[in-house]
Amino acid sequence: MTSKDPKSLIKIAREGGATETGEPLDLGMRVRELRKARDWTLEQAAGQAGLARSTLSKIENGQMSPTYEALKKLAIGLEISVPQLFTPPEQGQVGGRMAVTKSGEGNATVTVTYEHELLAETLTQKKMLPYRARVRARSMDEFDGWVRHDGEEFIYVLTGVVQLYTEFYEPVEMRRGDSAYYDATMGHNVVSLSDEDASILWVTSLN
């Protein structure tokens, strides 16, 4: 492959690789930031990328326009893609939101099969929906078909024994400390195998 000027690479190799002001990204500064984030010296980073230390130093200091081959080596050495070399880090995105839900203080919703206690309910625009569930169902006959929805889901058994049924897998018996992560668009249901209702931590992603 022939060498390309970095200005051309910005156009063909990245998506949204300009800063918020529309100015071209400082490639040298970006490479230096990526290297320092890994706590690598110039020698270590150059070794990872298969480049000479002097070459990497010149790239970081804006004294050299790297060829496309050099960019590929850099990306491989940093374990990222070429477009990520031209993607600026997010600025001003530090947040300080937090919600604490004391035991038993979550908003409870009771159904025939489950009793859900919503957690972190005061936070809006969450990316996850966490809740504690008391599993009341004892058989699949108690459900009106599969439960399915967008997103992904994670469950962690807190007490008792449950059986996780999914549309494409054999049922799985799960005990305290066991967990499962699955695609929630796949049909799924959970029943309790314990004499007493089992309890699980359930986390659903919000797409």
In sign, the C-alpha dihedral spanning 45, 47, 52, 53 is: positive
Q: Judge: domain 6-85, CATH 1.10.260.40.
A: yes
Residue 31's DSSP bridge partners are: none
**Sequence ranges of the domains in the chain:** 6-85, 107-205
107-205 CATH: 2.60.120.10
Model confidence pLDDT, tens digit, residues 8-58: 333 333 333 444 444 456 888 888 888 888 888 999 999 999 999 999 999
**How many Å apart are CA 63 and CA 197, to the nearest integer?**
67
Residue 118, classified by CB atoms within 10 Å of its CB into exposed (0-12), middle (13-18) or buried (19+), is middle
Judge whether 163 and 173 are in contact, CB under 8 Å.
Answer: yes
Judge whether 126 and 151 are in contact, CB under 8 Å.
Answer: no
pTM, full prediction: 0.56
Please state the rounded mean pLDDT for residues 143-164: 94
